Amino acid sequence: MTESLLQWRDEYLIGVEELDFEHQDLFRRLNELQQGIAAELEKARIDDYLDAIEMRVEAHFALEEKFMRETRFHRFAAHKREHDEFLDEVRGLMDRFAEAHDPEVVGTLFRELKRWIIHHVVESDLELATVAAAVGR
């Protein structure tokens, strides 16, 4: 069964242009990964998608954490912990895929990325919209 693609909705916008752009970019990159999985691309191509996603997620988290520090976001520690735990989970799955070359592992990784990004953007990051509005961004 093929996983459905992520659909961006304007209701996910938090009002911080840089963060909104990156959220949309993450949706796009995850869709590219899913299309690669569905097309049964070779492992090296899937690795390229995964590496690019990991780098973008790390950069996105750094930008988001900078915003939270600058605005003195009240849930900074908890939000950062979510970031750190997610990166650990993603890296573990990527390591499993690198070792086993198992397409099912990359499917699991995609599902986890999809689940997490939707939860994080729709729930955790939407809290930042209130902060963004309060500081006039």
Residue 6 lies in a domain: no
Residue 127 has what pLDDT? Answer: 83
pLDDT per residue as tens digits for the range 47-102: 888 889 889 989 999 999 999 999 999 999 999 999 999 899 888 878 877 777 67
CATH code at position 122: 1.20.120.50
1 lies in some domain: no
Residue 37 belongs to some domain of the structure = yes
Domain with 53, as residue range(s), is 16-134
Please state, in angstroms and rounded to a whole number, the distance separating the CA atoms of residues 87 and 91: 6
Domain count, the chain: 1
Confidence band of 7 (pLDDT split at 50, 70, 90): confident
Domain-located, residue 105: yes
Q: Which of 118, 113, 7, 94 is nearest to 46 (CA)?
A: 94
- What is the rounded average pLDDT of the residues 22-41? 86
- Judge whether residue 1 has pLDDT over 50: no
